[in-house]
Amino acid sequence: MEYNEKQISIMESAERLFAERGFAGTSVRDIVDEARVNIAMVSYYFGSKEKLLESIFKYRGENIRLQLETLVQDQKMSSMEKVFLLIGTYIDRMMERQNFHKIMAREQMVNATGATHKLIHQLKKTNQDLVQRLIAEGQKKGEFKKNIDVPLMMATLIGTTSNLFTTQHYYREINKLQSMPDEQFQAHLKKKLNLHLKTIFKSILTYEA
């Protein structure tokens, strides 16, 4: 689905507020004030606050799917290069879209039914199927071991990244990095996480210890 500039502005404003205050704690009036639009626009473009949340998941989910499809179809890289790029891309996306990932984490904990739950389930299944294709390709070429537990591997990627960004204040403190400027700290965090996950995935996927 194509979204126009005004729709994207409303979705991004709602995304910031949902991440900060929660879905229930954010009113349509809050959203239109943040987006600086007329309240009728939310009804016109989305119909309701619930449909607006669904649109956010569709919008972000489509971008993620397209990135993964492009990666899987690339014929120039080795399978391990694709996995390493997958790790880097996910970390970048988590850093850039922390609000969206906060909403996703919260929705999975508190909302086990309804349209949003179905969207999250479908998004995760689609992404995992694409990663499964990438792994199968590597196995066919003899680059990867057999019997890879892809859901557990993806849980390692998502869980480790999410936990580190959610508790980065603790990581900063335990490593005595309080005096490091934030921009430098974020770059440091990204580098360390990339190296850590690539080491783990190489061990999971290949015969090298």
Q: What are the residue ranges spanned by the domains of the chain?
A: 56-205
pTM equals 0.81
pLDDT tens for the 209 residues of the chain, in order: 688 999 999 999 999 999 999 888 999 999 999 999 999 999 999 999 999 999 999 888 888 888 889 888 898 999 999 999 999 999 998 888 888 888 888 777 776 666 777 888 888 888 899 999 999 999 999 999 999 999 999 999 989 998 898 889 999 999 999 999 999 999 999 999 999 999 999 999 997 64
Architecture of domain 56-205: Orthogonal Bundle (1.10)
Could you count the other beta carbons within 10 Å of the beta carbon of residue 83?
27
